[in-house]
Amino acid sequence: MTEGTRRADIQAGLNVSIVLKKDQRTGKLTGGIVRDILTRSPTHPHGIKVRLENGQIGRVKMIHP
């Protein structure tokens, strides 16, 4: 499993765990498949922001193989 701080590591169709905005205080993870990458910069210290196929938006914390 990889951390989600590098945009180059993330692409549509990957299975990831993200933290939703409402869960940032608790760190609760939500799993899903990446539909869109929303972060423009090549890296982000808190994780690359993505939209999942179910429409949820959050920052990638783990990339699953």
Q: Is 2 a member of any domain?
A: no
Range of the domain at 12: 7-63
C-alpha distances (whole Å) from 28 to each of 7, 15, 23, 59, 65 are 22, 16, 6, 11, 20
Q: Considering the entire predicted model, what is its pTM? A: 0.94
- CATH code: domain of residue 45: 2.30.30
What is the residue-level pLDDT of the chain in tens, covering all 65 positions? 779 999 999 999 999 999 999 999 999 999 999 999 999 999 999 999 999 999 999 999 999 98
How high is the pLDDT of residue 1?
72
Q: Is 38 a member of any domain?
A: yes
